[in-house]
Chains A and B, each alone.
Chain A
Amino acid sequence: MDRKLGWGLAVLAWVVPLHSAEVSAARAVEILRANCWQCHSRTMNMSGLDLTTRDAALRGGSRGPALAPGKASDSRILEAVERKTKLAMPPAKPLEAADIESLRRWINDGAPWSETSSASAPRSTWWAFQKVTRPTAPKIADRWVHNDVDAFILQRLQAENLSPSAPAPAATLVRRAYLDLWGLPPSMEQVREFVADNRPDAWPRLIDKLLASPHYGEKWGRHWLDLVRYSDTAGFELDTYIHDAWRYRDWVIQSLNDDKPYNLFVQEQIAADELFPEDPVARTGTGLYCVGPNRDLFPDQADINREEVLTDYADTTSSVFLGLTAGCARCHDHKFDPISQEDYYRIRALFAPATKVKVALNRLESLGFDVADGVREWKLREIGEQIRRAQSRCQDSLRTAKLSRLPAEAQEALRLPDSERTPRQRELASEYEKNARVTDQEIRACLSPQESADLHGVEKALVQMYANYRSKPFSCGLADSWNVAPRTFLPAKGSRPEREVQPGFFSILGGGDVPPPAEKREATGPIPLMPTTGRRTALAKWITDPGNPLTARVMVNRIWQYHFARGLLATPSDFGTRSGKPSHPELLDWLASEFVANNWSIKHLHRLIMTSMTYRMGSTPSPESARRDPLNLLLSHYSRRRLSAEEIRDSVLVATGGLNPKQGGRPVVPPLSAEEKATLTQSPDNSWVLTTDASEYSRRSIYLIQKRTFRMPMMDVFDAPESMLSCARRDSSTTAPQSLSLFNGSFTMERAAALSSALTADHPADDDSLIRAAWRKVLARDPGNAELSRARKFLQEQTQNTGARRQAVIEMIRALLNLNEFLYVD
């Protein structure tokens, strides 16, 4: 309920003469209707409580009767609204004192029910659950206003007596645009090109150019991967690989680069197997449900794991696409939002028949791969046997020789199988095992020519077998296991028995059931190629229905947030009743309707936002704005932001001339020091399998392996998400470990050394030209005079300290890579 309405009701209560029983009953029912029925109606029935009729209120819910007519002090309703015990209702906003008083009198008067009120529950009045209606942009005669976005922004600023900051200089703007759309800084030449472009449409041209580049998807795909808790491994102790996760990652990047309409983007992720069963690329979108966490599968845990998987599916779907945190309703009716536990299980039921499947990317090639893989596996068994045979003589004799040098006691312990050892022998065995172990090298040295040749034959066979081995032509996706779904039950609770629920949607958003599948096939008939229930299709259609009040609002708010560091609504994955109100509600709705009207084009939104003056302002606030709106909620200036972890690493690569622009493909595993790998949950040999092609190490960060139990240290300190839960907004912290990592870490030093070599080769003697080149490379500008002379002095000093000019240059580059100018978007 909004504040105005509450206040209006309070006034109403005050002017209504309270002596009339009939009037007081009407008033009380009105209070219940406005404040309680949203959750406590016949249909919503949270905590089993229905407050829409007197009988139902007397019957009460899981806490017993809600009303004790004639005795307000014994009535649960009053206890709840007075909020003196743990029971405090309504959850979001306490009732006005006058309303509480009205309820008390009414109950003491016997709680007569006013029949004048209709018993139907009102639809929620919460703004985010109302359909989007396109507001008209304010008409403001001001030259500053460049498009409708600006009109909304300026209207608020003027209302608050604040004025927008001056436009940012061209050199600042171009860097902002590159980093916002590509996640990479522009080169000096790219800056100059834009600054020199005097055409009136230079700015929109730049935006179009950036949007047309594949780098765009590499930057914006990262935002989406954060949201869908993307990872290349499953998490927990074993942290098993999700082999084909990267196909989904590449699908996201490609979809964004193609400007795939957002409604289609959503539909493919939720139900491409049903909607586009013949299109393996679209079906890769359902990989959304493969890239999440998965508990280690121990024999007895399959059932627990399935529960958690379904929970993850329902939670991820509702928070990513609808901005609703439904998770609470898994165990009980939602405390704050009108989502009942039944609603939650209805959503979960949509996924009940779904299971992870291999999606063949190319039917023939995939079939061929499977056949070849089967052959390989068959052959490998024989190969294992051959290896053992070729090595067994040496293995046995070497071990015997080693054993003979050990104490007799240890020899005996090591000869026995583990199950027959005494505790003492076990200790001995574990202590001496390493002394008896035969190494690969020792075996090689001992092999006879024949054995050696046998082993060599095996090696040749292996090489032949794997010579053409490539990543499997499969992606991971979701599909229903049959056209009949397992039943979903609402768990028993208190006196309420377990009860079957049907798949459906959130009541608060209009609800609705899922139609049963069009045709039911009998098991005796021909087996359909992909039998399916159609449940997720219904979900996808419901979410992307232009009438769904949340889908477009949530997405435009996300896009806005990624441009301005803060959404119009500050809680991007929570549009529920605890989220507060947007700073510019009309603008949010205007953008949402603009989004849908333009075929859900994300690139259209970028153009709209970036061509506004709002986006083009400088980042320095007026003293007045700094004082009165320190968080820049009203957007009187551009909010300077720190680069993300990936942007920092990628920027260092660009600045030092080392970025490998290759797109897509298997995750890259770059080398790390032993110290850095110390926190891996499994042996680094298996869990950090280095990419062998070193040129891959300098690829964009989105292509680096993302493990759920282990973040690369640099990503970790700069706030990359953990990928266990959906991350809608990253922190942007400022800590000493960040400085240590970027200042002392080997990545910085290696990159600085690489650029130093190039610069000293190009400028063997002339410090000034070298300094200029360094500034241009790293900061994409020329140094000022003061900077030039300071750097000159620095090079001399450090050449003396380090004994080499090249080292001094490394130090200078290292400093530049650590500057705020480099680390922030201005």
Chain B
Amino acid sequence: MSTRSRRQFLARAGKGLGAVAASTLLPPALGAESPLAPRKSHEPARAKAIIYLYMHGGVSHVDAWDPKPELSRLSGKTLPASFVKGLKTSRIDFTKALARGSAWPFQKHGESGLEISALFPHIARHADQLALVRSCHGDAFDHAPAMYLHGSGSQFPGRPCLGAWTVYGLGSENQNLPAFVVMTDGAMKCGPQGYGAGFLPAVYQGTMFRSGKSPVLDLSNPDGVSNRTQRATLDLVSELDRQHLGERPFDTDLEARLAAYELAFRMQSEAPEAVDISKESDATKRLYGIGEGPSDDFGRKCLLARRLVERGVRFVQLYSGTHLGDDWDGAHNDLTGSHNKMAAKTDKAISGLLTDLQSRGLADSTLVVWGSEFGRTPLAEGRNGRDHHPYAFSMWFWGAGVRGGRVLGSTDEFGLRPVENPVVAHDVNATILRMMGLDHLKLTYYFQGRDMRLTDVHGEGEFTKFLVQG
């Protein structure tokens, strides 16, 4: 518990204690003192919740969001030395590898005429609501460091990620569900540190929601224990604890732990309801591609994301892909196969999510972010592959009043490097915090001798203006 909330606790301990000790169920107001109690933002917020769609493995920007006719023209040839100077990855030599045009035709979409490839036909229907950024870049060319960099501002793990900072800054609207929920397809190269709390208190780390009825670890009663038995045992704990507490006045930690057990019990009943999609209409499920082969699984995750956001969860991070199964990184050997497969899993689901958020009036308060740890080399790896390309890639933003149908930044004619408005991880993270009403310069935590922040020593560049004000 932070010093501040301890103090808050103490301030009310004198008068509150007796009342608390006497009641079986602790007053819900006790939740207001928890480290996840909702807190005021620094500035008026544009969004209340974030759904971050993370494509694990690296999506090829020049095959999805960033059309490069010049690359197609030079397909099969090496690129001019001046363009590839200084670029390196683990697997290809930029001076020798051959350019390779995209296999997916690009087309203009919507009134804005945003160019998106045939890889994402469903998402493309939302072109007029997408703010597309084509000039992202970084310098970490392997998965884990790149994921840490984009998530936490450092290539080394151990720092809090965006979601952790967000709930540290804002708390949560729903004390009966985790504030920061993570869903994955399985193992990920970043491991739990990709959504970890780093040096922030562990309470701010992402909670993994698992598939099935019991989304949180140890959420259900132990095997063979009925609700009635569970409640009776919990009552014994409360009673004995209250007696113990009565002999130890002024201790807010003991009091808080009593409350934590009740909260856990409430979570046991609320979380399964939140993940139960059986009552959703067939039309809604169809929207997400649930029950339709490849999109079924990610569709369910997207639908869950909507349900969680509806219930006040602050931050939902959905990962598509696992290196122990299918992921976007299959592009090393098989660009078309891997990308078609992964797009089939996610395209309709994501499109359905956007449509559903819109129709339920959640679009204004929810920011949806689509991203990936890096792009893929415009040059070929082997016969049908592309290597990691951190030097240029794309991401997009939707909702929360973000004006869509726009593009920020551009890359050179081959998609190798940004040429206009280059955007780095810190810009993106600072901007997302701004959307949530948090000033990345003020959102700090004292650790190892200084006030740490998500963006470390960096500013936020022009990107914020583009997204927040534009």
Contact = CB atoms under 8 A, between A and B. Distances in A.
Interface of A: 235-237, 239, 293, 295-296, 298-301, 308, 319, 324-325, 327-328, 335-337, 418-419, 423, 426-427, 430, 571, 573-574, 576, 578-579, 619-621, 623, 626, 630-631, 640, 642, 675-676, 678-683, 708-711, 713, 716-717, 719, 722, 724-725, 731-741, 743-746, 749, 786-787, 790-791, 794, 797-798, 801-802, 807, 811-812, 814-816, 818-821, 823-824, 826
A744 B260 contact: no
Given A319-B448, A725-B158, A802-B229, A738 B90 contact: no
Contacts of B90: 298-301
Interface string B150-169: 00000011100000000000
A731 B202 contact: yes
B10 A801 contact: no
B145 A295 contact: yes
Contacts of B157: 235-236, 293, 708-709, 722, 724
A409 to B, nearest CB: 15
B193 A740 contact: no
Contacts of A430: 337
Contacts of A798: 229, 232-233
A724 B193 contact: yes
Nearest to A680: B187
Contacts of B260: 734-736, 738-739
B63 to A, nearest CB: 13
Contacts of A680: 187, 191
B163 to A, nearest CB: 15
Contacts of B337: 423, 426-427, 430
A710 B192 contact: yes
B222 A821 contact: no
Contact of A811 (B198, B233, B244, B249): B233
A744 B188 CA distance: 27
Nearest to B449: A325
B139 to A, nearest CB: 10
Contact of A733 (B203, B232, B333): B203
Interface string B185-228: 01111111100101101110001101000001111111111101
Q: How large is the interface on B (under 10, 10 to 19, 20 to 34, 35 or more residues)?
A: 35 or more
B84 interface: no
B299 to A, nearest CB: 20
B233 A681 contact: no
Given A574-B448, A733-B1, A681 B240 contact: no
Contacts of A719: 201-202
B43 to A, nearest CB: 20
Of A324, A739, A826, most buried by chain B (CB within 10 Å of CB) is: A739
Contacts of B187: 678-683
A128 B36 CA distance: 36
Nearest to B196: A722
Contacts of A298: 90, 142
A216 B95 CA distance: 60
A736 B172 CA distance: 14
B189 A681 contact: yes
A129 to B, nearest CB: 14
Of B178, B218, B254, B382, most buried by chain A (CB within 10 Å of CB) is: B218
Contact of B1 (A682, A734, A745, A749): A734
Contacts of A709: 157, 191-193
Contact of B199 (A619, A716, A725, A787): A725
B284 interface: no
A741 B221 CA distance: 11
A682 B210 CA distance: 18
A295 B149 CA distance: 14
Contacts of A319: 448
Nearest to B90: A298
B450 interface: yes
B253 A741 contact: no
Interface in B395-424: none
Contacts, number: 250
B156 A573 contact: no
A615 to B, nearest CB: 19
Contact of B233 (A337, A573, A815, A823): A815
B267 interface: yes
Contacts of A824: 253-254
A679 B192 contact: yes
B6 interface: yes
Given A681-B187, A716-B202, A801-B226, A819 B383 contact: no
Across chains A and B, which 3 residue pairs bring their CB atoms closest together, nearest first?
A724-B158, A709-B191, A325-B449
Interface string B443-461: 0001011100000000000
Contacts of B241: 819-821
A717 B202 contact: yes
Contacts of B220: 744
Given A678-B210, A787-B240, A811-B236, 10 more contacts: A237-B142, A626-B10, A675-B210, A681-B144, A681-B187, A716-B202, A740-B216, A744-B219, A745-B222, A815-B236
Contacts of B201: 719, 731, 733
A790 B239 contact: yes
Given A678-B186, A709-B193, A744 B222 contact: yes
Contacts of B234: 743, 815
Nearest to B144: A237
B188 A620 contact: no
B313 to A, nearest CB: 14
A635 to B, nearest CB: 15
Contacts of A239: 191
A797 B233 CA distance: 10
Contact of A739 (B35, B190, B196, B261): B261
Contacts of A807: 224, 229
Nearest to A324: B449
Contacts of A427: 337, 341
B142 A296 contact: yes
Contacts of B225: 802, 811
B438 to A, nearest CB: 20
22 contacts: A237-B144, A239-B191, A298-B90, A300-B89, A419-B383, A680-B187, A681-B144, A681-B188, A719-B202, A722-B198, A725-B199, A734-B260, A736-B260, A737-B264, A739-B260, A743-B218, A801-B229, A812-B233, A815-B233, A815-B240, A820-B254, A823-B257
Interface string B87-98: 011100000000
Contacts of A640: 248, 251, 253-254
Nearest to B336: A423
B263 interface: yes
Contacts of A620: 248-250
Contacts of B88: 300
A426 B142 contact: no
Nearest to B263: A736
Contacts of B210: 675, 678
Nearest to A418: B333
A679 B319 CA distance: 13
A325 B451 CA distance: 12
Nearest to A331: B457
Contacts of B264: 736-737, 739-740, 743
A735 B218 contact: no
Nearest to A681: B191
Given A734-B256, A749-B222, A811-B233, A576 B449 contact: yes
A807 B223 CA distance: 12
A709 B188 CA distance: 10
A787 B260 CA distance: 23
B7 interface: yes
A818 B237 contact: yes
B384 interface: yes
A745 B449 contact: no
B245 interface: yes
Nearest to A731: B201
Contacts of A787: 240, 243
Nearest to B177: A736
Interface string B62-77: 0000000000000000
